[in-house]
A = this chain, B = another copy of it.
Amino acid sequence: MPSSQTGADEIDADADPDTAARQARTRLRSRQLLAAAARVMERDGTESVSMQALADEAGVSVGLIYRYFGGKDEILLAVIVDVLDAFAVRVPDAIATADPDPVARFAAAFGAYCAVIAEHRHAALLSYRESKNLAEQGRRRIQQLEVATSEPLRDLLREGIEAGLFHQVDVDLVAYDALLMAHGWALKHWYFERTLRFEDYVARQTSLLLLALLLPRHRRKYARFLEHTQP
């Protein structure tokens, strides 16, 4: 479910080999630029992503960027989408790899969300900042992806509820809370990095989530997830 890139490569299925080559190059450039954007953000923060800084980091000229993106907004949109794509890849992956148990899969999914955010700490916060600036179209796109992206979590919650493991919670809200807790690492990173390692953060948040979700009678069984509750 990857590759939701942002319009730079929307030219569909064209057998012309020349066009194919162009598409390949386009895709390459796009990735190169998005990677550069991510690097700049991670290094200097979200505010310092000027077109010049981006060009420098990518090793291309400013002008070239406009061949692959319609403008700055489009790039930021693409960066946001990139993170959402990462969710779309990594979370299902983590679920598939994990223990088949619903709780374990839920924990794995949440961990994957957290991991992606930790890897794109600044990019992950971009959507909070840019929503207003983005064109209506881009905003809707993001919102759709966000919903789609959190679908696995909702699925697992429903599954857990149906299996009689979880309380009958508001699945939408809990899924959102889980994402919020994952974003929490990025939002207050300056605070947590001094008090908690990333692994501990994830473990404790997982504990709290499951504490809220699990019916009491299953707690013993999942004690391994719950034991990180205390500081």
Q: Judge whether A230 is part of the interface by a CB distance below 8 angstroms.
A: yes
| Of B125, B169, B208, B212, the contact of A128 (CB 8 Å cutoff) | B125
Name A's interface SS. helix
Number of interface residues of A (CB under 8 A): 43
Inter-chain CA distance A167–B214, complex, in Å, is 14
Contact A170–B47 (Cβ < 8 Å): no
B residues in contact with A172, CB < 8 Å: 195, 231
Stretch at the interface among A14-22, A84-92, A96-104, A173-181: A173-181
Identify 28 residue pairs between A and B in the complex whose beta-carbon atoms are under 8 Å apart, listed by A's number.
A44-B132, A45-B131, A45-B133, A47-B132, A47-B133, A48-B132, A125-B128, A128-B128, A143-B190, A143-B191, A167-B211, A167-B229, A168-B230, A169-B208, A169-B211, A169-B230, A170-B204, A170-B231, A171-B231, A172-B195, A172-B231, A173-B208, A173-B231, A176-B188, A177-B208, A180-B180, A180-B181, A209-B212
